[in-house]
Amino acid sequence: RPWLQRRVDEYPKLMEANFNDLNVTRKVLEGILLNDNDAEREDVTNIILFEGVMIYLDEGVPHALLELCSDVLRKSHTANSNTSSSTTALGYLCFADRLENIPGGDEDAAHVEMESTGWELVDFLSKPGLARHMGVARIV
């Protein structure tokens, strides 16, 4: 369908990353968020979504992945800020997953885990099942 070719840049681009390989994941995320083509863009809010992903990652990786995401979002905000006084939110994390270091549905432990990885927990709920932690956090 030739008519689709000229619209290909309008569609989301899927990027492959093995989240157990944090170096590759960092490169992919930096490639998306630290793109030089965005130099003239207006401030944007980035949202990272994890739904049933961390359940399948190696031990220690979910914690490190939260740190990695907050770090790259901060770098992106610094690199792409149009003004030094920008008040735009750096980014949010929405999740329905099983986070590390949060036994059961302990909300206090959730706050500690999120703060230790660069996030401020805004809302948190727990439920039965594998993806037992649900919530929203923002970059601190």
pLDDT in tens, 2-17: 655 666 666 777 888 9
How much is the pLDDT for 84? Answer: 46
36-43 own/partner pairs: CB under 8 Å, 24+ apart = 38/80, 39/80, 41/80, 42/82, 43/80, 43/81, 43/82, 43/86, 43/88
Tokens of 9: 């840049």
Torsion region of 26: left, alpha or beta (phi above 0 gives left; psi -120 to 50 gives alpha): alpha
Which residue reads 């792409």 in tokens?
Answer: 80
Which residue reads 């170096």 in tokens?
Answer: 23
Say yes or no to pLDDT of 51 above 90. yes
Q: Within its chain, how far is the Cα of 93 from the centroid?
A: 5
How much is the pLDDT for 23? Answer: 97
How much is the pLDDT for 37? Answer: 58
pTM to 2 decimal places: 0.83
105-108 own/partner pairs: CB under 8 Å, 24+ apart = 105/132, 105/133
The percent of residues above 90 in pLDDT, for the chain, comes to 61
Tokens of 27: 């490169």
What lies within 8 Å, CB to CB, of 68 at 6+ separation is: 22, 25, 26, 29
Angle between helices 61-80 and 107-116 (to 10 degrees): 50
Distance CA 127, CA 83 (A): 42
Say yes or no to pLDDT of 82 above 60. no
The count of other CB atoms within 10 Å of the CB of residue 70 is: 23
Mean pLDDT in residue range 60-87: 81
How much is the pLDDT for 77? Answer: 77
